[in-house]
Amino acid sequence: MGFDMGAALEQAVVDRHQAWWFVREYAEHFVSPLGDDDGCAVDEAEERLGIRLPAAVREAYALFGRRADLTGNQDELLSPDRLRMWDGVLVHRVENQACAHWGVAPVGDDPPVFLRPDLADKRVEKWEPFLDRFSLACVEMVLAESLLLQDGLTECRELEDDVDLARIERAFTPLAVPHVGDSRWYANADVVVRVMGDGFLMVRGRTSAALGAVLEAFPGEWLWS
């Protein structure tokens, strides 16, 4: 049986163990399978920080903590030795130009994630709600970062008009990806599509033939071809 991304996501958004199953299946079908050496422990970080990290954080790092192709093509999941506390929040991810940081409340099994933008006026900087659960943020991160992996299976261009969007909505199934930045996500068995809130279209194919079919069906000024 193939990977039903839509059904898997519906489970992933309500259960963290299903979120990890989704990451495994998505990596296997759309990037490359996770291996035993792709994870890392956070014990030394816990000792250094003097806290016990939430179960979801420990599980995520153990599953894919060394997989930069899933976690660091643009923004970066920090390695355990770079984890730090900042105003009571555990910083675990940084924007590629350090314009923002993501952090998790170090309480509970699957706690909420916060975003802290880098502002000129540091007095008004604060942690703002991002997603309700760390595992949800990981699902969104893996999907978003994989669509920036320039390995011949991804492409992007501007969304030209509403006709583009209408055709995407007819051709692909909407996905229950956590709502971040007004993005909309779609997929079929061989392709995942992200329509970003700023009018940018990103596509990843399971194979080069799958990607090529999308580029042919949606002609335009694709940037990486």
**What is the tens place of the pLDDT at every residue in 143-159?**
999 999 999 999 999 99
Answer yes or no: is 224 within a domain.
no
Instruction: Burial-class residue 98 by CB neighbours within 10 Å (0-12, 13-18, 19+).
Output: exposed
Could you give the maximum distance between any two Cα atoms of the chain, in Å? 54
* CATH code of the domain covering residue 176: 3.30.310.10
- Same domain for 177 and 132, yes or no, is no
Can you state the percent helix, strand and coil of the chain, rounding each to 5? Answer: 35, 20, 40
Pair 118, 99: CB distance under 8 Å: yes
Express as a percent the part of the chain with pLDDT over 70: 100
pLDDT in tens, 35-49: 999 999 999 999 999
- Same domain for 141 and 72, yes or no, is yes
Answer yes or no: is 156 within a domain.
yes
pTM, whole model, 2 decimals?
Answer: 0.94
* CATH code of the domain covering residue 51: 3.40.1580
- Same domain for 191 and 116, yes or no, is no
Please give the residue range of the domain that contains residue 18: 5-145
